[in-house]
Amino acid sequence: MMKEIAFTAKVWLYPGDVANWHFVTLPKPIGAGIKDAYRGLTKGFGSLPVTVTIGGTTWKTSIFPDKFSGSYLLPLKASVRKREDIYTDDEVTVTLQVST
């Protein structure tokens, strides 16, 4: 199993009229490593539970497979974005650990 994973990625806004969902796409090599390491351990929709840290904020969520990018998507909660002053197109450094 993989240990703690760190990467930097750009925050993007889901292109919808109703929701205000922000995500980070995991770099493809990291997503491939997670997919290989946790094959068969996924939850609903192919998700994997993770513990995430951005800045001084740590929370539990899930990452979801994304066919478009070939990696995983990490949703960023509004409370985390507010606490860490994160906006669309910001580059954030993420540390995550899969918690299966």
What are the structural domain ranges in the chain? Answer: 5-98
**Nearest CA-CA partner of 21 in 62, 74, 85:** 74
The kind and range of the H/E element at 23 are: strand 22-25
Cα–Cα distance measured from residue 86 to residue 90, given in angstroms and rounded to the nearest whole number: 6
Asked: is 5-98 a CATH 3.20.20.150 domain? The reply is no
The whole-chain average pLDDT of the chain stands at 94
pLDDT of residue 1: 66
Does this model's pTM top 0.85? My answer is yes
What SS3 class is residue 53? strand
Cα–Cα distance measured from residue 9 to residue 41, given in angstroms and rounded to the nearest whole number: 25
Q: Is the pLDDT of residue 18 over 90?
A: no
